[in-house]
């Protein structure tokens, strides 16, 4: 995300810019470097600022950074806050770049659309990707406990949606996509019962 008056219109424009990339070692930094790589931009070609999300937004407001890597579901309260004071632009990722990212890193999602009007002044849809969220538990947790946790998540999807509309993305058909670690036997039992895993 950038302030509209920054003149930054694409990822290519981030070269040489101060970009709040997230805390060093965080998934935000990794995700940004992956997206930049698909555009042929090395992480060394930006001026990364390793900041917490709150610090980053404040510095963007004050004009001390040029862009902020946003790793959250839309609508984001932090974006709404800065958008109440500044015109903002959220950079879209080209769909061919998203396909490239997903092929190489399957824990990313296919194209996601942030609909126009989600944020004030943004009158076109924004195309992006996202990281697939994973609930991780120790393998030592009892199978029955993890089974009940998994079931509770899907049985209470409506309550999750009340907290944040990204709860709409909880979907049994895609629940096991992109896994890089084994499913806990308790979760596997639930997914098999529901036909999500054979």
Please report the domains of the chain, with CATH numbers, ordered by start residue: 2-128 (3.40.190.10), 143-193 (no CATH)
Contact (CB, 8 A) for 35 and 11: yes
Give the pLDDT of residue 175: 84
Burial of 163 (0-12, 13-18, 19+ CB in 10 A): exposed
Does residue 155 have a pLDDT over 80? yes
Paired residues of 89 in beta bridges: 2
Task: State the DSSP code for 4.
Answer: G
pLDDT in tens, 5-26: 999 999 999 999 999 999 998 8
Paired residues of 128 in beta bridges: 112
What Cα–Cα distance (Å) separates residue 157 from each residue in 21, 69, 154, 160, 173? 31, 28, 5, 5, 14
Phi first, then psi, for residue 2 (nearest 5°) are -135, 165
Contact (CB, 8 A) for 197 and 191: yes
Question: Looking at residues 31-44, what average pLDDT do you find?
Answer: 95
Give the pLDDT of residue 153: 92
In the chain, what is the greatest distance between 2 CA atoms, to the nearest angstrom? Answer: 54
Neighbour count for residue 124 (Cβ, 10 Å): 11
Burial of 149 (0-12, 13-18, 19+ CB in 10 A): middle
Alpha-carbon gap, residue 165 to 29, rounded angstroms: 25
Q: Which helix (H) or strand (E) holds 153?
A: helix 143-155
pLDDT in tens, 94-104: 999 999 999 99
pLDDT in tens, 45-60: 999 999 998 899 999 9
pLDDT band, very low/low/confident/very high, at 179 (cuts 50, 70, 90): confident
Neighbour count for residue 142 (Cβ, 10 Å): 11
Does residue 197 have a pLDDT over 80? yes
pLDDT in tens, 105-153: 888 888 888 999 999 989 999 999 887 778 889 999 999 999 999 999 9
Complete DSSP assignment for 38-57: HTT--GGGSEEE---HHHHH
């Amino acid at each position: 995300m950038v302030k509209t008056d920054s003149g930054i219109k694409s990822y290519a424009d981030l070269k040489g810019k101060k970009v709040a990339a997230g805390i060093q070692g965080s998934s935000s930094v990794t995700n940004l470097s992956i997206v930049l790589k698909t555009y042929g931009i090395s992480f060394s070609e930006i001026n990364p600022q390793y900041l917490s999300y709150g610090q980053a937004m404040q510095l963007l407001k004050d004009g001390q950074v040029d862009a902020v890597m946003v790793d959250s579901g839309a609508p984001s309260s932090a974006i709404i806050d800065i958008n109440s004071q500044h015109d903002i632009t959220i950079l879209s990722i080209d769909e061919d770049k998203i396909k490239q990212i997903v092929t190489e890193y399957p824990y990313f999602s296919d194209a996601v659309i942030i609909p126009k009007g989600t944020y004030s002044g943004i009158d076109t849809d924004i195309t992006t990707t996202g990281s697939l969220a994973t609930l991780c538990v120790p393998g030592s947790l009892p199978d029955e406990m993890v089974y009940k946790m998994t079931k509770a998540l899907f049985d209470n999807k409506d309550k999750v949606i009340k907290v944040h509309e990204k709860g709409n993305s909880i979907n049994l058909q895609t629940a096991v996509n992109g896994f890089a670690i084994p499913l806990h036997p308790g979760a596997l039992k639930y997914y098999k019962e529901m036909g999500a895993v054979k």
